Structure 1
């Protein structure tokens, strides 16, 4: 029996991450069947924009867990496949590009997040090879699960809505901080067209 009981959320519902229980290192897993999804994390300020370029954490981020070493990695493709994207404050580790699909993992250390960050948004986009017309309609059983990294216990989960069959990008969920420094996870599930570029336009300045 784990320390926590899994809470299943619907869109708009929240889960309080109780720091008095030692909840600090959080693992976020996006799982699905069929298709290829990419997960991203965005560290946003009070205006809803990324706090710096490295606050957009995705598979192709320049800021990584290791610097590029040609003698070790050989080329940039191997480098990106072998290292994880990372926020500038080191608080958020994004997923490698999992070409086989099925799961993408984001790790968040809440007490490392920079003071100017007011929320960490988790998004997903459908990888569309060779201009194929792929959407969330081809993806099955997509779900996000928040896990306590220390114990391995799942805290809460959210099944993405089946309503956005034609969209190829989604704001899945977010972590919000209040004035007392307490974090809350909110399930969202807002679908959009335009893929990853639509999300970039939402969270970056023109």
Structure 2
């Protein structure tokens, strides 16, 4: 049975769930938009050490770097339109392969070329993140982003974080202006 979360809520992912490979599914719809450009939302993952920063560019998983060298985080590919039902993009997490120096994995979404296209998350609706067990296909949790993000072009949707030997999920929903560059700087990488 899936648990529905609200912003700021935390929940165990691996404790008691026997979750070895979790899939982070992200989805969204675009409101009526007549700007002439396609909306291209991109999911990414930042693998962050206890310093609060990604150690290098390989710890940034996105459409141009689909797999972490450890094999612990895999992006399944870029969906450039977001059309259709269900997940628009997915990131697979294999918990046993996460390097010991990684303390958190931030799951983010950005709007590609948002400034030039005059796009923001206020034009996005029905955005969600969910986690399901890849083996059983059972959805464990879902977090619907319901706030109005009228100027934000990037968002930290959630974080997975280490708690002892287990992993937990934190529903964040924090918006950023400045797109992907702002997120990279936030996690210690050059934009």
The normalised TM-score by structure 2 is 0.88
Are 1:18 and 2:14 an aligned pair?
yes
The answer to whether the Cα contact below 8 Å between 1:144 and 1:159 also exists between their aligned partners in 2 is: yes
User: More strand per residue: 1 or 2?
Assistant: 2
Greater Rg by CA = 1
- 1:18: Cα distance to partner? 3.3
Are 1:92 and 2:73 an aligned pair?
yes
For residues 108-142 of structure 1, give each alpha carbon's deviation from its aligned partner in whole angstroms, at most 9, with x where no partner exists.
00110000000111000012368111000111100
CA distance in 2, matches of 1:145, 1:189: 13
- 1:36: Cα distance to partner? 2.5
CA distance in 2, matches of 1:162, 1:21: 30
Are 1:29 and 2:25 an aligned pair?
yes
- Gaps of at least 5 residues in structure 2 are 31-38
- Gaps of at least 5 residues in structure 1 are 62-84
- 1:37: Cα distance to partner? 1.2
Residue 38 (structure 1) aligns with: 42
The answer to whether the Cα contact below 8 Å between 1:39 and 1:95 also exists between their aligned partners in 2 is: no
Residue 69 (structure 1) aligns with: none
Q: How many corresponding residue pairs?
A: 178
The list of structure 1 runs, each at least 4 consecutive aligned residues, that deviate by more than 2 angstroms after superposition, is 18-21
User: More helix per residue: 1 or 2?
Assistant: 1
Structure 1 range deviating more: 190-199 or 46-55: 46-55
Residue 51 (structure 2) aligns with: 47
CA distance in 2, matches of 1:137, 1:130: 13
The alignment partner of 2:102 has SS state of: coil
The alignment partner of 1:197 has SS state of: helix
CA distance in 2, matches of 1:187, 1:39: 15
**Root mean square deviation, CA, Å:** 1.6
- 1:20: Cα distance to partner? 4.1
- 1:198: Cα distance to partner? 0.4
